[in-house]
Structure 1
């Protein structure tokens, strides 16, 4: 990719919008907002669909997240696509959706990694390229 941005983010709102609970699973839709610091400075809105298993544990989720702000000083926005196929060791994949960059972030591609430590702090690393 060539470029790397890292930092932290805080979840500023978690707003459940719909839940469908049936025997064996629950499907939910939620809106999440975040504030970013570090290489990314700005805010995002996440629209997520998730599945809980029969025991109430996370089973899978998909989401789209629109970030608006600055990346290493360049202003604009882009969309991230999240996919977590399950809770049994499968890998979480988050990528920049090609063609969604705007402003000085037009042409962005990349891969986003996040981590939550034992105290609940969220950090990220974004490996990216700007293909103009």
Structure 2
């Protein structure tokens, strides 16, 4: 298992599509599209498509997302997808980031891994623990 560390920045996309039918009929569901810029051991760009649900209880919410990454990892270029699931229960949070199985392309074919996130002073610090087949 190898580890990649660094930071990423996030910004909302200007080209957010119109809300889906479910988001229009269930106002508690939010939809976001974000751009990310990755720095450090993983360098590149990604697009995140996210659905959120906020409860009436402060500090309780959930989100799910799919992220498409184009980047260089350990000197190998390619793409892959990440799956996110975040749950906040009255302020207590848990977050899962996983590489979608068999989503690697280019030189990242066969990538497997999980990412952990720590936010310090509003800066997103990641650690991606991963495996890659030998080239």
* Consecutive aligned runs of 4 or more in structure 1 exceeding 4 Å deviation: 14-17, 19-22, 55-58
Equivalent residue for 2:88? 87
Q: CA RMSD in A?
A: 2.1
Give the TM-score taking structure 1 as reference length: 0.85
Deviation at 1:124, TM superposition (A): 0.3
State the alpha-carbon separation in 2 of the partners of residues 53 and 109 from structure 1: 33
SS of the aligned residue for 1:92 comes to strand
Maintained 8 Å contact 1:51/1:58: no
Aligned length: 127
Q: 2:100 aligns with which of 97, 103, 127?
A: 97
Greater fraction of residues in strand: 1
Aligned pairs for 1:1-132 within 5 A: 2-14=1-13, 17=17, 18=19, 20=24, 26-55=28-57, 57=59, 59-84=61-86, 86-88=87-89, 89=92, 91-117=94-120, 119-131=121-133
State the alpha-carbon separation in 2 of the partners of residues 91 and 57 from structure 1: 12
**Structure 1 unpaired stretches of 5+:** none
